[in-house]
Structure 1
Amino acid sequence: MPDLPPRLPIFYSCYHTRSREGEQFIPEHVLSYQLAGTLTTYDGTREQVFRPGDLRLTKRNHLLKFNKQPPENGEFKTLSIALDQDTLRHFSLEHGHQAAPHASSPETAITELEMTPLFQSYFNSLQPYEQLAEPGNEALITLKVREALLLLLKTRPELRDVLFDFAAPGEIDLEAFMSRNFHFNVQLRRFAYLTGRSLATFKRDFEKIFHLSPSRWLQQRRLQEAHFLIKEKGKAPSEAYLEVGFEDLSHFSFAFKKMYGVAPSRL
């Protein structure tokens, strides 16, 4: 998962495997510095690639697919700061920051940031991560998180409309959202939340628009996309089933054959 915050708000991600793919729901804003390796992300609208030295802000309440690629004979490494809602609320009250009324919500999940000398100095100060994470340094960690917020607002003042928007997602165009995000493998309650609806309202609105239940429509739409990827793009079924949101290859193959009359491997 890309930079999902653990217990500590400042965390270091490092692993040795050849590559790693997946997807996740982003619950909190995360500021991340790419130290080594390459991260490729897709939020349903835009693909982005981050390389060593790149800085990014991943925004909360977004769905994201990712691929982590370590360098040859090396490790994938990121250093990240989680900006949770409690921290942001306290900072907002203390400094008087608030989002502009009716500020439009960001469409893309990740904002690319310039690595300024101030940011570079800040991340250099976090490099002795093992010492920083030791018990007894909680106050220091709190100060470093607040320092990250001050730097973000100094370099990109318009980000206050993102960071200090504490509202739940408002009701949005359900048809457009689902057509863009059907391939994310998340529960219906997550889709409902992200479209600004209760689960019951989501299901009711969904059937009015698509004339199918959400689960049935999702399976059909994912199978249609998989058929396109395999037949027209030359993808292997073992790649396509994950890309379109299926969890299990055997279930995907069974559903595909039932819908198209042929196994995906024989297309």
Structure 2
Amino acid sequence: MAEKKQNNYAEIVLACIEEKYFKDEIVLEHHSVVKIISGEMKIILADKTHTFGSGDMLLFPRNQLCTLIKYPKDGRNYRSVVMTLTTERLKTFFTKNPIRSSEHHNQKILTFEKHPLLESFFSSIIPYFELESELPEKITALKIEEILTILRNIDQNIDGILADFSEPGKISIADFMEKNFMFNMAIEKFAYLTGRSLTTFKKDFKIAFKTTPQKWLTEKRLELAYYELSEKKRKPVDVYYETGFENLSHFSYAFKKHFGYSPTKLSEKKI
């Protein structure tokens, strides 16, 4: 399953999901502004889960680790406008518009209330997706500058996110992994987000956990899945993707190998 982009210009796209649901773990290289037109999107963070629907608008900060699940709602496919705010665009913008605030936002996902400026802006964007060719570069640049201006008008402290071009610094592997093990990301991504090279990450991981990253991740995910099935009485099909497994068959195989019985038996209380 994959997103269909009706305008193939990378910075402004219309994402359409026609399947039952679309799921992916992401760490965005750039900030991303999303306006949901129809359907629903669930965003699973390490400490919280958000559900957004038609009309909602949000900002994904870059380097935010999360799981996205997009699915139809009320008989309508998932559709959203997605705008990528590249570092290059932002640096250009802030050379002309002095940074007003460098205060760090505590929100991992920023949401915005309905606002006339936002409503008008996205109403002007949607007709562009009828184009059979790419959106002209000059229009793309103008629309991105416009959305940045609107966001700064609505949130006086948003520069603390938009104008932060720093890379992840070296942080505690133990703390980070304990909070984020359920995300099915490549080891290289975990290394980057903890401020390490892959080699240093594996070395520091061995010191912290006395085992390899892959073995530790599998065991932690299975323990979480066991808790969800036994204590919260959830079904395997609703658990595997939230605990870091790629598909249900892989989850069932790993679960049975580790515990000696299938997740279905546990959820049905047959053990």
TM-score, normalised relative to structure 2: 0.87
User: Are the structure 2 counterparts of residues 110 and 132 from structure 1 closer, same or farther at C-alpha, using a change threshold of 3 Å?
Assistant: farther
Paired with 1:133 and 1:119, the residues of 2 have a C-alpha distance of 25
Matched residue, 1:33: 35
Partner of 1:130: 129
User: Does structure 1 residue 72 correspond to structure 2 residue 61?
Assistant: no
Whichever residue aligns with residue 163 of structure 1, its letter is L
TM-aligned CA deviation for residue 116 of structure 1: 1.4
Q: 1:168 to 1:16 in 2, by over 3 A?
A: same
- The separation in 2 between residues aligned to 1:140 and 1:133, in whole angstroms, is 15
What is the Cα-based RMSD across aligned positions, in Å? 2.5
Tell me if structure 2 keeps the 8 A contact 1:21–1:68.
yes
Aligned to 1:246: 245
Deviation at 1:233, TM superposition (A): 2.3
1:173 aligns with 2:172: yes
The 1:122–1:252 alpha-carbon spacing in structure 2 relative to 1, beyond 3 Å, is closer
Question: How far apart are the structure 1 equivalents of 2:188 and 2:201?
Answer: 9
Distance in structure 1 (CA, Å) of the matches to 2:76 and 2:254 = 40
- Runs of 4+ aligned residues of structure 1 deviating over 6 Å after TM superposition are 1-6
Q: Shift of residue 74 of structure 1?
A: 1.8
- Residue 23 of structure 1 aligns to a residue in which SS? strand
User: For structure 1, which segment, 90-99 or 221-230, has the greater mean C-alpha deviation from structure 2 after superposition?
Assistant: 90-99
CA–CA distance in 1 between the matches of 2:117 and 2:46?
32
Q: Paired residue for 2:269?
A: none
Matches within 5 A, 1:29-178: 29-97=31-99, 100=102, 103-104=103-104, 106=105, 108-131=107-130, 134-135=133-134, 137-178=136-177
Post-superposition shift, 1:208?
1.9
TM-score (norm 1): 0.88
Give the drift of 1:133.
6.8
Segment of structure 1 superposing worse, 107-116 or 155-164? 107-116
Shift of 1:240: 2.7
Change (3 A) 1:220 1:40: same
State the SS of the aligned residue for 1:41.
Answer: strand
Once the two structures are superposed, what CA deviation does each residue of 1:60-85 show, in whole Å capped at 9, x if it has no partner? 10122122232222222211211011
The size of the alignment, in residue pairs, is 264
**In 1: Cα distance, 2:198 partner to 2:264 partner:** 36
Q: Which runs of 5 or more residues in structure 1 are unaligned? A: none
Structure 1 residue 209 and structure 2 residue 217: aligned? no
Name the SS for the 1:21 alignment partner: strand
- 1:222 equivalent in structure 2: 221
The answer to whether the Cα contact below 8 Å between 2:101 and 2:157 also exists between their aligned partners in 1 is: no
Matched, 1:237 2:236: yes
